[in-house]
A and B are shown apart, each in its own frame.
Chain A
Amino acid sequence: MLDIMKYFTLKEMKKSLVISIWFMILTFPIMVIKVNTIENTVVWRWASLLGMGIGSFIMATLWRYLLERKNMKSPLSTKKTLQMRVVEWANENPKVKPIALIAVSIFVLSFPFFSGLYQTSIMTTALMYVVLGLGLNIVVGLGGLLHLGYAAFYAVGAYTYALLNYHFGLSFWICLPIGAGLATIMGILLAIPVLRLRGDYLAIVTLGFGEVIRIVLENWNQFSFGPSGIAQIPRPGFFGMSMNLQTATTYIYFIMIAMVIFTIFVVRRLENSRIGRTWVAMREDEIASESMGIDITKSKITTFALGAFWAGMVGVVFAAKTTFINPASFTLWESVMILCVVVIGGMGSIVGVVVGAMILILMPEYLRAFSEYRMLIFGAMLVIMMVFRPGGIISNIRKKYKFEPAQAAKNADKEGVR
């Protein structure tokens, strides 16, 4: 429908040229002149100017093409998105589902056995972010409360296990519920002061809360061992069996698989329950929700508490997986990354969060091939994804209810009933 060739006309080329000249000037001091004020040397790198010019020329053309394509897409809403087509296709072929399910199960179950330590390890990390993302999704996606201090709850879980194990020798399985429980309590404690806040004000307060927790962990040596952290945290046990690195990693992988399934199960049920509906209503309109008899205070507290629950749980696994924790793991960037998982995947959507976690956690790992450029590329990818897919990768679809024709027949308009 839209031809890229159109961008090779003289007029369009001129536009691209102007843009590339702009970029050449813009990046001139930083790209071309390299100074070293320690040595007092200046190096002029003219080659990078040329590179910049060519690169930005191509990018400018491509960018305009893609942007226009994105803008043109809208009127033809009849054209199905890939997501819709996959869902439809799956619906039309009922046999596909069980087969795919079995295939996926086999793959998931056998993954650690053919992929090696590293793959298993990063996949476990990705799975941890799936759970974290789903937890934060309750607060941000469903409850509509922008939360930038989520890593604090994660830290609560991790420190719970590390400290209880260090002082009392409590095992992973005992600490798992305790960590989750303590995080939940922290969630409630945070929720109470911020009840009146909204939007960006809420964001900054939660950000502050996260930082406060981290700074306390950093400075309160007697309690948390400060920045040097806690080492030698045992990996989870399995009826006292001793495990080598390989089996232990595999074992944690399976714990995470189980946890992901458990989380999806619970979050799905919550989402479509009376409680879940109040969260979404609260997100949509607080005043209207109150007028419908919803207790906003209670609703906010439950979202924070339930969101924190998952973070606490994953925190315990985190401590067990890395065997070492210190406050450096729970910075603002951590909270931001989890938020990115939710937004990039598609807010409010479970599948979206899963996809988002996979992309965001695995992408930097696979970008390792680009070594020092990987964070540059990652930053650029975030921008590009948001520009071309601002709603996230997977859009959330509200649950549809089916009504028997007999009921619908009361008013005899079957058209609208889907």
Chain B
Amino acid sequence: MLKIEGIQTFYGNIQALHDVSIEINEGEIITLIGANGAGKSTTLMSISGVEQARHGKIIFEGQDITHMDPDKIVQLGIIQVPEGRRIFPFLTVAENLDMGAFLRNNKEEIKRDIDYVYSLFPLLKERRSQAGGTLSGGEQQMLAISRALMAKPKLLLLDEPSLGLAPIIVQQIMNIIKKINTEQKTTIFLVEQNANLALKLADRGYVMETGKVTLNDTAKNLRENDAVKKAYLGI
């Protein structure tokens, strides 16, 4: 479904990605784990076209999207929930969800999807006319995922959904991600620092270090890999 071939991305004068290649098949949950600053978020931003790769190729469903504008990429069905959730603080919950459906025009379908996300997160329905900035961290994460779902993603990119959340909330979020994957058949690319968590959820995983992919295997194998155990699982 998505094929990343040897991309190199720069932040100003710093090369953040060196020859990163990743493949994601339809319906999978793929995870990318690695330390802070390893280039995980950059990889996502390159896919979304916000930080365009200078070399290499990104192919989505047979189409080259390497140098496409971010809005075109969203149109194709690649939606990202970025790190830190980035809720629009002064828009209401409902308006935040509207923004997710920015590129869609079919009012009925949108209505149906709103009902769907409200069923996933009943709390959001209660708070729909509250400003996004007044929600708690966990609620914001729920809203962020819901907002992305409103765009009808084929491929959902999630950047550190567990960051800064209480363990109990993290669990809820992970369950929902799984649910989205199975119920909506949405392919999921999950970037996580919490490797333990991510590898439990994912089918396959990639390990990233200083801008390079160093390992790639099934989640199960990775969890048993000694190097991974030592560096990321804290065992």
Contact = CB atoms under 8 A, between A and B. Distances in A.
A411 interface: no
Q: Of B10, B13, B15, which is in contact with the most chain A CB atoms at under 10 Å from its CB?
A: B13
Given A75-B10, A75-B15, 7 more contacts: A74-B10, A74-B12, A74-B13, A75-B54, A76-B13, A77-B13, A77-B14
Contacts of B14: 77
- Of the four ranges (under 10, 10 to 19, 20 to 34, 35 or more), the interface on chain A belongs to under 10
Contacts of A74: 10, 12-13
Interface in A58-81: 74-77
Interface of B: 10, 12-15, 54
A2 to B, nearest CB: 14
A76 B13 CA distance: 7
Nearest to A77: B13
Interface of A: 74-77
A76 B12 CA distance: 10
Nearest to A72: B54
Nearest to B15: A75
Q: Of A74, A75, A76, A77, which is in contact with the most chain B CB atoms at under 10 Å from its CB?
A: A75
Contacts of B13: 74-77
A77 B13 CA distance: 6
10 contacts: A74-B10, A74-B12, A74-B13, A75-B10, A75-B13, A75-B15, A75-B54, A76-B13, A77-B13, A77-B14
A75 B15 CA distance: 7
Contacts of A76: 13
Nearest to A75: B10
Contacts of B10: 74-75
Contacts of B15: 75
A74 B12 CA distance: 5
A77 B10 CA distance: 11
Nearest to B13: A77
B16 to A, nearest CB: 11
Contacts of A75: 10, 13, 15, 54
A77 B12 CA distance: 9
Contacts of B54: 75
Nearest to A76: B13
A362 B84 CA distance: 49
A291 B85 CA distance: 28
B192 to A, nearest CB: 29
A10 B13 CA distance: 32
Contacts of B12: 74
B208 to A, nearest CB: 21
A71 to B, nearest CB: 10
A77 B14 CA distance: 8
A296 to B, nearest CB: 26
A74 B13 CA distance: 5
The 4 A-B pairs at the shortest CB distance, nearest first, are namely A77-B13, A74-B13, A74-B12, A75-B10
